[in-house]
Structure 1
Amino acid sequence: MSTRGSTRPGVRAVLLDGDYDVRSAVYRSPDGSVCVDFDGEDGRSRTFDFADCELPGWHEDLAVAVAARIGPGGRLRTASSALAMWTPLKRFLRALAGADEVPLRPGQMRVEHAEFFADSVAATMQDAYAWRVVEHVVAVLRLLPPTGRVPDEALDVLRVRNPGPPRSTSGYSQGELRRLVAAARADVAAMRERIAQGRALIAAPDGGPEAERLRTVAEGGRLERLHDTRAAGRMLFPMSDDLPGMLVLMAAVSGRNIETIKELPAEHQVVEGKAVEVVLTKRRRGARRWHESVLWEIGPPGQGLRHPGGLYLLLHGLMAPSRSRASDPQWFWAFFRGVYFGDQHGNPFRSAMTAGLPMSAWVDRHGLTDDAGAPMTVAFRRIRTSVEARRTRQMGGHLPSAARSNTVPVLFRNYLREDPSTVEWAHEVMADALADAEQAALEAHRRLADRAGRPEILADSVLSPADIAEGPWSGCRDAENHPVTGRACRASFLDCFHCGNCVITPAHLPRLLALLKAMDQRRRQMDDQVWWQRYGPAFAAIRHDVLSRFTPEQVREASSSPDHDADLDLVEEPWQQP
């Protein structure tokens, strides 16, 4: 059988040799343990050996399920995703082995065993990770062969007890992100200067003994002391402690997730000296949609650390000597391991995407703290969220323009919805927009009032019914003589608030407040633009030119009176009502 392999431009899919049998992928090692081999689409492979797992009676059936999960027809086709399944499965077996009545085979598992495992996960892990552990175990158990099927009621308990995926991760504040990126940019700039000095020293004809030491290490040799060898290598190549700064800066400048950044290819094309074309690997796009060609701007001279294309070319050049000596030169990342390793130079993410990085040491070295003064925790997902939020603000909140590597729903659900800085900014934008809309409505009211006059506010007077004709929310002194036309008034009752014949007394206040409440409710049911055109001028007139003429005590007394019918239907046709 051949592996399915990864497809990309110029590389065709590898077809299977005959029918695929899940059980054929399961075998026993020379020591007698059950094993399953994995060949991923990301070019990485590993063997999952049950030798260190508890409950031997489960091993063969679980191995069949694992083979189905990670095989050519399974959903886990990368080394990191397969490993993410394997670790929870080992935890599951270890938990069952500690139960009061141990289920020696899958068919002996009961509801209490499922509850015991779910409780152990919930007690030792945060929900952000616990749900994934349970999900991986359930996905494997559902693929068990009929001979080793777990009872449905036990599986149902795990499904019910699964807390589900956490809500989207919040990003860093603007100050935290600024400090984080500044530290990473300073690191990359220092590395660039350091390596440039070392390479210049080697190239100098009269470099002296120091140049000879550097040449020895550059050619794969070693010095007498390990410390001296590392110091010389540091002058020529990126080192492991340079990786945190490079990754953080690349994540912040490119706005891509960390998996895509770790799998950057070395192959690229410079387009007219202005952009770099790179084929990215984005695993979460689904089967057969892993690869995406992007153009990254290089930026003006001297600004390479601020543009993704410029940063890509800079790091590509700094790592070129290590890459040329590595066993996997097709990858972008390469660093100097040391002359005491079999491969002196190599890709730190060659064997696994989850290779450990000295992030805590890097944070301590720069003294990075969060807004509360505590040591900062570097999470690349939070960096991605912060970058997406920043771009969304730059686009004025227009999500279709802000969404680059994701769809609009994914951008909002996974990155923006729970980000505090985005929520705060959105509230500010909405408040400003409402203030601008209300100001425009108030100006429209005053333009109308300049033509027809302003209402007469009699805050301390009470008129007799003989003095005015009552309308739904105000009185009218002369309905037969409109101030503008001189004829009988045919305008909407909402236009009374821009008319000199309008009279408003304290007796009208309860009905005016009911009108404001009804118009505010109608705003939640209508398009904002339509609402402001239809009700905005009257709404602004009541709030600014009418209520302001009454005392706070009068308004409070009117608001405590029994509810009145707003009579909003008097100014609308039936088809206008939402």
Structure 2
Amino acid sequence: MFGVYAGVVPDGIADLQVGDIDWAGDSTILLSYVKRRTAAESVNLPRAAVRLLEQWLAHSTLLRGLVAPTDRNRLWLGLSQPGHPRLIREVDRVVLQRWVLRHGLVDVDGQPLKVHRARIRTTHHAMRSKRTWTGNARATIDPNHSPAVEGDHYLSANTPAQRQAVESIIEDAQHDLLRRAQPPTVISAENAAALADGYPQLIAAMHLDDTAIAELVGGARDVFTAACGDQLAGLHGPAGKPCPARPWVCLLCPLAVFAPRHAVNLLRLKAFFARHWRQMPAAQFMAVFGPYATRIDQILHRFDPDGLAAAAAEVGDTDDEIPVRPEERTA
């Protein structure tokens, strides 16, 4: 428990002496300990660790006065073998196993729990991360919980409102996966008849009439990378409001229709992805831009190579060609 509160390594805790405790006030302790992998270190203990030490020193006062003078300076004193007491010299693996059996601690499989000392500091970091949100996974995942317990603790929904919220999150994720699996809608000729004849399911899903089809094909509904079937549909924002999605989100939107006139902006966006790829770690790039970088290649593959070559001549490979926010710009 002291290791969980203080974050001191287990080997440093085991060798502590009473003289290592330096009181810097009524409620402040500067603790000196030896970390075997490095050297002597010191730490200003948090309030919970200070209270625990105060309780332990008060609890062990009587025993400390009865043991041999050579052992009185040891911080951790204890007796084992009830009825035949002897001073505990070291808390080893055998002692931990006996303690687990005596208290009947079992894991998820019903076997005696294995106490891993490495979890002491991990638990300390997990508790510290939960105090303020830092984006660390330790703030949501407890190192001492099994996957089943984690699922019951974080994914169980007890009230109807909670269940509805969880189901909405699952539905949104499923819809997102379905949208990514659908092929992009790319028209090779800018005429309404070809669009209506070639994509009847698209027309039915968008609920487009002849006027809307003409606007879609003619460029009246163009956004940066595509022609949008309905900017007020609310797929990426409030329904009835203009879509707030970033330019690359259109690449996976089911309302987007790509025409040859969009090739220049698509190539500019591809160059934007390439600049970020050179600057960002691969894992971070794939998490942020990965699906969109894959989709843009699928779209451009359906365009005429000669048209792409002509469009590439208009790409300057700068952020000024793309409507990005200051924090999204590449250096």
Shorter-chain TM-score bucket reads 0.3 to 0.5
What is the TM-score normalised by the length of structure 2?
A: 0.34
Q: Who wins on radius of gyration, i.e. which is larger?
A: 1
Looking at both structures, which has the greater relative contact order when contacts are Cα pairs under 8 Å and sequence separation is at least 6? 2
What is the TM-score normalised by the length of structure 1?
A: 0.20
